[in-house]
Amino acid sequence: MSEGVLAGLDEAQLEAVTTLRGPVVVLAGAGTGKTRVITHRIAHGVDTGAYSPGRVMAVTFTAKAAGEMRGRLRALGVVGVAARTFHAAALAQLNYFWPTLAGDAMPGIVDNKVRLLAHAADSMGIGPDVATLRDVASGIEWRKVTMRSVDEYVAARPQGIGRLPVDRVGQLHLAYEKLKDERRQLDFEDVLLACAGMLEAEPHVARAVHEQYRHFTVDEFQDVSPLQHRLLELWLGDRRDVCVVGDASQTVYSFAGADARFLLGFESRHEGARVVRLETNHRSDPAVLAVANDLMRDRPGALNLVASGEQPTTNDTPIVTAYDDDEDEAHGVAARISQQIGSGVDPRRIAVLYRAHAQSAELVAALADAGIAATVLGGRRFFDLPEVRQAVMALRGASVAPIESGFTDTVRDVLRSLGLTDEPPEAGGALRDAWEARAAILRLADEAPPGTTLRGFTDDLTARAKAQDEPAMRTVTLATLHAAKGLEWDHVHIVGVSEGLLPISYATTFDQVDEERRLAYVGITRAARTLSLSWARGQRDRQPSRFLREIGNGTLRAVGAPARRGAATERAKSRSSSSAAPRGARPR
């Protein structure tokens, strides 16, 4: 099996996978196969006898990533590894030890921090709006993950929130903690704090955890907070078998407490640490990588990405387009996407990325005008959609009845009874969204392995829902740059690359602008084949982003805006005739 686990790895990947002992830091650039390295390293350790699966903890940041890691390990024949998020691992340990230590059940978990904050605000006789409460909730989370007291928080963030001066914000923090204690609840961050406190205060608990877990792997290490880093140290104790994997250039959650210094300083904190650099990119065209490298040149921890040569190059220099306004930009991007789909590109392989959610509405409308269906990432989850829930229930009901036709035919018949047609309705609106969701379920049935039963298929749908393993609908993806992290598409369009949007207007310090640079880098490196960047002057006469100037003309090609057609053209004509009319004759 070892040969199979090691097969196909490039030189740097092989070094990381076969270095099984001692502290290891893997500096893994975008598209260099870090998840493959993590899972193959664990599998190689198990296969060679260096690791026992039950003694391995693999930590990542999202439940979806943890589920993907478990799935990849199963495919490599490894079961029993604790692949979890920091919070899931800490909660499991609290649930196990709390009854013995405290003599009763563990406190409940706060399910809605904003709602609890609203109750705490009521007790103070104040009524901040929901937006202010959300910002206060974010402040509480930042205070805890950076391991600050309320007084230290007030000193670090003296500007206040909304109409609340900073002293009232601090008082609201205290009222929230008091109410939470009275209700015998812990919030998400308390889970990490309580687990760390338990390990520090109870030596026998620490010994039990150290006995259970001997080997640690941490993914996305550039995103760890001081609290998570402290918890990892407590899990490790005096052991040295820890492998951390990350990319400082993809640190985009500093506002939430992430601190890339833990990644960049790993070698100095761990004597004899092995450093492995993954710089061979297995995803993107060399022209795309040239843009990414130019953007991050000379930044701390930046890696120089080199294409693996596994894919034929497109020879398409990434383009940058200037538009008059946001509407023109949205329709220009829609026109380019229409051309790509017309040339045979699968809509699922196309994404439009932007800095802020508010930018999505114009894009959705423009794509609909062009007859292109789109899905906004970060909206309702696939399995929470009413038409999907209805379909799963109908399929489960059909699974208990005698089946006269084949499995796939039965699925198709059930979905047709719910509204699936051979041809999709016009793009845009709820009807098209429902059609795309039902069509995605039918594709899952078409792709099911031979011998799949209807009951087995519905069980698989339920398991997918729990694991957040959502099928890709045949739609163009719209996503914020933050939400796009960890994903990839063949063709990526990044809009709003202007001062005030990217970097965002409130990024005023050097560190804040540098975080915006890393966010742009994340977006650029999502592209496998082609990349287009665009910006709009707008009514406020925006300027192109400083990032475009820094990348320069050597790796970007300026092009003219594509001509507008259809409904977009009609609106343009209307706007043109309106602006040309005498003031008194303008339509109202």
State the Cα–Cα distance between residues 143 and 580, nearest whole angstrom: 55
What is the sign, positive or negative, of the torsion defined by CA atoms of 36, 41, 42, 48?
positive
Taken in order 161, 163, 165, 167, is the CA torsion positive or negative? Answer: negative
Residue 573, C-beta contacts closer than 8 angstroms, at least 6 positions apart: none
Query: And the tokens for 282?
Result: 């297995």
Is residue 352 classed as helix, strand or coil in its secondary structure? strand
Angle formed at CA 90 by CA 88 and CA 91, multiple of 5 degrees = 65
Concatenating the DSSP letter of every residue in 209-220 gives HHHH--EEEESS
530 annotated ligand-binding residue: no
**Binding site annotation covers 29?**
yes
Enumerate residues 6+ apart whose C-beta is below 8 A from 538.
325, 326
- Residue 31, annotated as binding a ligand: yes
CA distance 352 to 30: 19
List, in order, residues 6 or more apart from 483 with CB less than 8 Å away: 377, 378
How far is residue 278's CA from residue 10's CA, in Å, rounded to a whole number?
9
32 is in an annotated binding site: yes
Q: From 298, 281, 300, select the one nearest 527 (Cα to Cα).
A: 281
For the chain, the 3-state helix, strand and coil shares in percent, each to the nearest 5, are 55, 15, 35
CB atoms within 10 A of CB 423: 5
Cis check for the bond before 312: say yes or no (omega within 30 of 0): no
Map residue 385 onto helix, strand or coil.
coil
Within a 10 A sphere around the Cβ of 151, how many other Cβ atoms?
10
> What whole-number distance in Å separates Cα of residue 437 and Cα of residue 449?
21
292 is in an annotated binding site: no
Place of tokens 């993590």: 38
Known binding residue 419? Answer is no
Instruction: Identify the DSSP state of 561.
Output: P
Q: Is 363 helix (H, G, I), strand (E, B) or coil?
A: helix
Residue 467 annotated in ligand binding:
no
DSSP-based three-state secondary structure for 453:
coil
DSSP structural state of residue 528: E
List all residues 6 or more positions away from 298 whose beta carbon is below 8 Å from its beta carbon.
none
**518 contacts 479 by C-beta, under 8 angstroms:** no
315: alpha, beta or left? (left if phi > 0; alpha if psi -120 to 50): left
What are the tokens at 152?
Answer: 């230290």
3-state DSSP call for residue 327?
A: helix
Residues flagged as binding site? 28-35
Residue numbers in the known binding site for ATP are 28-35
